[in-house]
């Protein structure tokens, strides 16, 4: 494989931690096994057991999180680090993966690793994230045995990223960040070629909340809508008018978007129903606007529902704030990728309207998330995340391991 690396730069020694062909093949097999056996958030018992077994086989001592799914695994950690959080002990670098799948069917055809579980699929690339961090742990464990790991590293395999407000909050309560000074992660991006990553200092994702709206009225005959509440019209107006109202009540630069994913009402063509429901997400690029969003959304829904004579009940579930990449940690990822694959392996990326609970870690410690390219170079397929036909170019696993191992080495040597 031809690429520019530190070995090609005058006066620079190459970073250790190259992956063998045997390890690359093992990691691809591990990812395919996870892909065939997807598990939903807080139900990832098989996934947790598989990760734990492989780490233990490498001589490591992973600790399962209190909920029974997800793990923490420290590499090169002095005994004092197990309970110490004082300033006398150098804060460690944490590398995070999310391990859960989505409740959608796997629509891929012609691949031997298609999901074997009905209505479950790794359609967001968490199997790739998990395998990448596992591979990183195996490489770093070997470097530690050889005396080449300059500073301790923590692996964090987090459950329930897809379950708002996300499993990150539970992991933090369980001590995942104890002794941690910086945290890094990747997320698959089917718009970026395998072999590259996308980086952005500052906000790289949006805030994401869940919204459910319940409308009620007396019901009646469709021959006499004037004698009752026309609930179907009311729910239709809430669906169309509330997003429009919000667009005029918040700065457009905040990027607030209310998008409906479900609407239900009625059972017969000649009966005005007594109940209707809508559900969707509220996404926002700006942190301050996200904090104002619940009050604005409540007010807009109440106004439209009242106008049409419907009684409204709103369930607004706070999700996650935006992932805001720390500039210094972002540069660490840039330097790490450049050291492994040269400057052209890094591209700038825009802020996404997707949500990610990695943001909760960044409320406590600086960190950064990179977009890991999973599109086969030269491919014109327009795959996206959260689709049943999503798949990843598996060469991205090696790229992710190279990125993380280089980041751990560079970060340790800079202390």
**What's the pLDDT score for residue 241?**
97
Q: Which residues does 247 contact at the CB level (< 8 Å), separation at least 6? A: 256
Instruction: Please give the distance of CA 387 from its chain centroid, rounded to a whole number.
Output: 15
pLDDT-above-70 percentage for the chain: 94
Helices (H) and strands (E) counted in the chain, each on its own, are 9, 16
**What's the pLDDT score for residue 7?**
41
**What's the pLDDT score for residue 11?**
43
**What's the pLDDT score for residue 372?**
98
Region 317-323: what's the mean pLDDT? 93
Whether pLDDT at 5 is above 50: no
Whether pLDDT at 86 is above 90: no
Whether pLDDT at 291 is above 80: yes
Q: What are the φ/ψ torsions at residue 153 (nearest 5 degrees)?
A: -135, 145
Whether pLDDT at 290 is above 70: yes
Region 358-382: what's the mean pLDDT? 94
Average pLDDT along the chain = 93
Region 169-197: what's the mean pLDDT? 97
Whether pLDDT at 107 is above 90: yes
**What's the pLDDT score for residue 164?**
86
Whether pLDDT at 274 is above 90: yes
pLDDT digits (tens, 9 = 90+) for 204-263: 999 999 999 999 999 999 999 999 999 999 999 999 999 999 999 999 989 999 999 999
Whether pLDDT at 4 is above 80: no
Whether pLDDT at 80 is above 50: no
Q: Which residues does 57 contact at the CB level (< 8 Å), separation at least 6? A: none
pLDDT-above-90 percentage for the chain: 87
Kindly list the distances between the CA atom of residue 389 and the CA atoms of 95, 215, 264, 296, 386, in Å, as whole numbers in the listed order.
28, 35, 27, 36, 9
**What's the pLDDT score for residue 55?**
98
Place of tokens 């397929």: 381
CB pairs under 8 A, 24+ apart, for 60-64?
Answer: 60/137, 60/141, 62/155
Is 102 in contact with 384 (CB distance < 8 Å)? Answer: no
Q: How far apart are the C-alpha atoms of 235 and 231, rounded to whole Å?
A: 6
Place of tokens 């036909």: 389
Higher pLDDT residue, 155 or 86? 155
pLDDT digits (tens, 9 = 90+) for 40-58: 999 999 999 999 999 999 9
**What's the pLDDT score for residue 79?**
54
- The C-alpha angle 312, 315, 318, rounded to 5 degrees, equals 145
3-state DSSP: the chain helix, strand, coil percent, rounded to 5? 35, 25, 40
H-helix or E-strand spanning residue 98:
strand 92-98
pLDDT digits (tens, 9 = 90+) for 7-41: 444 445 689 999 999 999 999 999 999 999 999 99
Higher pLDDT residue, 344 or 353? 344
Whether pLDDT at 115 is above 90: yes
Place of tokens 């439209």: 304
Kindly list the distances between the CA atom of residue 284 and the CA atoms of 60, 100, 242, 256, 259, in Å, as whole numbers in the listed order.
40, 24, 15, 4, 11
**What's the pLDDT score for residue 415?**
64
Confidence of residue 176 (pLDDT cuts 50, 70, 90): very high
pLDDT digits (tens, 9 = 90+) for 296-312: 999 999 999 999 999 99
Question: In sequence order, what are the beta bridge partners of 368?
Answer: 184
Whether pLDDT at 362 is above 50: yes
Instruction: Transcribe 42-95 into DSSP letters.
Output: T--HHHHHHHHHHHHHTT---EE-TTSS-EEEEES--GGGGT--STTSPPEEEE
Is 388 in contact with 63 (CB distance < 8 Å)? Answer: no
Whether pLDDT at 90 is above 50: yes
Region 147-159: what's the mean pLDDT? 97
Region 351-358: what's the mean pLDDT? 93
Question: In sequence order, what are the beta bridge partners of 158?
Answer: 98
């Amino acid at each position: 494989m031809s690429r520019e690396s530190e070995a090609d730069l005058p006066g620079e020694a190459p970073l250790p931690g190259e992956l063998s062909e045997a390890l690359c093949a093992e990691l691809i097999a591990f990812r395919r096994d996870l892909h065939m056996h997807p598990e939903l958030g807080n139900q990832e018992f098989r996934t947790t057991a598989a990760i734990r077994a492989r780490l233990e086989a490498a001589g490591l001592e992973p600790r399962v999180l209190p909920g029974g799914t997800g793990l923490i695994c420290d590499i090169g950690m002095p005994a004092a680090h197990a309970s110490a959080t004082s300033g006398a002990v150098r804060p460690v670098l944490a590398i995070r993966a999310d391990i859960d799948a989505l409740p959608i069917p796997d629509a891929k055809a012609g691949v031997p690793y298609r999901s074997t579980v009905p209505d479950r699929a790794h359609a967001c690339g968490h199997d790739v994230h998990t395998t990448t961090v596992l591979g990183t742990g195996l490489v770093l464990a070997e470097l530690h045995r050889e005396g080449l790991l300059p500073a301790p590293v923590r692996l964090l395999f987090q459950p329930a990223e897809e379950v708002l407000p996300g499993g990150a909050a539970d992991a933090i309560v369980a001590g995942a960040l104890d002794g941690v000074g910086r945290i890094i992660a990747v997320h698959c991006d089917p718009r970026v070629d395998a072999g590259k990553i996308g980086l952005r200092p500052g906000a790289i994702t949006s805030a994401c909340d869940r919204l459910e709206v319940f409308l009620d009225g007396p019901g009646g005959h469709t021959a006499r809508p004037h004698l009752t509440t026309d609930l179907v019209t009311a729910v239709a107006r809430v669906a169309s008018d509330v997003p429009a109202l919000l667009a005029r009540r918040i700065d457009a630069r905040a990027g607030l978007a209310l998008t409906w994913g479900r609407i239900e009402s009625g059972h017969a063509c000649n009966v005005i129903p007594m109940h209707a429901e809508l559900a969707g997400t509220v996404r926002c690029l700006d942190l301050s606007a996200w904090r104002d969003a619940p009050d604005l959304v409540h007010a807009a829904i109440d106004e439209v529902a009242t106008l049409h004579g419907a009684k409204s009940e709103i369930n607004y579930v706070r999700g996650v704030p935006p992932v805001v990449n720390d500039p210094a940690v972002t540069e660490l990822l840039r330097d790490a990728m450049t050291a492994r694959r040269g400057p052209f392996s890094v591209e700038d990326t825009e802020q996404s309207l997707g949500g990610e609970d990695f943001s909760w870690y960044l409320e406590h410690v600086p960190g950064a998330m990179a977009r890991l390219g999973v599109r086969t170079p030269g491919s014109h397929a327009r795959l996206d995340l959260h689709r049943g036909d999503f798949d990843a170019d598996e060469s991205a696993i090696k790229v992710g391991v190279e990125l993380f191992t280089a980041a751990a080495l560079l970060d340790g040597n800079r202390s």
